[in-house]
Amino acid sequence: MIQCDLLSPAKINLCLHVLGKRTDGYHVLAMAMQRVDLCDRVRLTVHDEAGPICCRGVALADGEENIASRAARLILAEAGLSRAVDIDIDKKIPVAAGLGGGSSNAATVLVGLDRMLNLGVGQRRLMEMGLSLGADVPFFVFGRPAWATGIGEQLEPLSPLPQVCYLLVHPGFKVSTAWVYQSLQLTISDEVANLPRFSVGSSDELIAHMTNDLERVTVSEFPEIEHIKDVLLDNGARGALMSGSGATVFGVYADFESARVAGERLSARYGWTTYPVRPLDAPL
């Protein structure tokens, strides 16, 4: 038996453009993505003998299989192995919050089992496998700030980003990503080549580039998100944006202490859950 404890980080979308919709139903995107140090803890235990793959720490409906379990099943099949695997997830990242927690868990399992079992699958193949699980999984395998195009699987490293910190604010309700995309009325015909490159050298440039095409859909159903943005700006944030399909909103702060103090103030006044976080620029 071998065991390993791993960190599974959240992400934010510094910008998210929806460029169109493919015939298979997936949307064509262009996004700047950044991992942050709000992390689930994933303990992987691999037994010497064949057996079931069990995932604890995530509530599921009867008959559903967690994406982390599917990731373990996928990489063991790739390697031609049959092993019992226990996956214990200590959830810190809120669910259905636009922070990619489930996709991060899946990527952590793929990368973790590859290393633990010395499979030598390699990053490129792990990213391909991750795409079959979810569009955000390849980004977490990639493990660094990225410009993502296609459905999110075509990744290029971003130039170094300005040293800022973020305050994540979660209002306490979930948002269905599927509902947001289904409700999106596409009036956009831009191509990736026509978009300004997400190359920012200062915090002012970062804030100027921040945009999210999904925000108008989510705000139409959950106006509290717009309120959170306004409150963040009134409490020292230099910019504010919804991450992914929501409901988490992040504010940009010059330093961690400013984000922490603002978070305590907002939690006490509004009852929101807040997370002051630092960006992650390299694989954990």
- Annotated catalytic residues are 11, 136
Distance CA 12, CA 32 (A): 9
Is the previous residue joined to 247 through a cis bond, with omega within 30 degrees of 0? yes
User: Strand 249-253's sheet: what is its strand order?
Assistant: 239-242, 249-253, 165-170, 273-277
- SS3 letters across the chain: CEEEEEEEEEEEEEEEEEEEECCCCCEEEEEEEEEEEEEEEEEEEECCCCCCEEEECCCCCCCCCCHHHHHHHHHHHHHCCCCCEEEEEECCCCCCCCCCHHHHHHHHHHHHHHHHCCCCCCHHHHHHHHHCCCCCHHHHHHCCCEEEEECCCEEEECCCCCCCEEEEEECCCCCCHHHHHHHCCCCCCCCHHHCCCCCCCCHHHHHHHCEECCHHHHHHHCCHHHHHHHHHHHCCCCEEEECCCCCCEEEEECCHHHHHHHHHHHHHHHCCEEEEECEECCCC
User: Would you state the structure tokens that stand for residue 203, as one six-digit string?
Assistant: 């915090």
Query: Which one-letter amino acid corresponds to residue 236?
Result: G
